[in-house]
Amino acid sequence: MADQEQNDDKRLSITKIYLKDSSFESPQSPAIFRKEDWKPQTNLNLRSAHSPVDGDHHEIVLTITIEAKEEDKTCFLIELQQAGLFEIAGYEGEELQAIVGSFCPNILFPYARESIASLIQKGGFPEFVLQPINFDALYMQSKQQQMAAQAGEAEKH
């Protein structure tokens, strides 16, 4: 009975999803569009941040940076911050960390993916499909790295 009451106090809902910031640069245009054989190398940088707002509300910001280069020249550079305001109540410790580190970025990613594809297309470049990302695996990898770093610090003392 006590477990049932404890589970009833847990809430997780999306309050708002919004684009917090975005930038698109194409420093080689219009010359880049005259090339017939366009095969850039793309680099993806992904991170998320968590900020408590008030009470049970938390802002999660997923930042994605994509740089397309060809012969050490930047073709385009995008930085996008997709954010969400989430109501998270009744979760603490590891559960809360998993929600803000994996669950919420999973919710935000499709919105970021759509915005990125649109920016690239509006920039005059061919369709760009950002592949799905396994935030659960990234979260677990991050936790393992933290544990290894803590173990390394403990050995030094």
- Residue 34 in tokens: 């005259």
Q: How far apart are CA 114 and CA 82, in angstroms?
A: 11
Burial 9-43 (b: 16+ CB within 10 A, else e): eeeeeeeebeeeebebebebeeebeeeeeeebeee
Predicted TM-score of the model (pTM): 0.84
Q: How far apart are CA 100 and CA 56, in angstroms?
A: 13
The whole-number pLDDT of residue 1 equals: 47
pLDDT in tens, the chain (157 residues): 455 555 568 999 999 999 999 999 999 999 888 888 878 999 999 999 999 999 899 999 999 999 999 988 999 999 999 999 999 999 999 999 999 999 999 999 999 999 999 999 999 999 898 998 989 888 888 888 888 877 777 677 6
Max CA distance (Å), the chain: 70
Burial 44-56 (b: 16+ CB within 10 A, else e): eebebebeeeeeb
What is the assigned CATH class of domain 2-156? alpha beta
First to last CA, the chain: 45
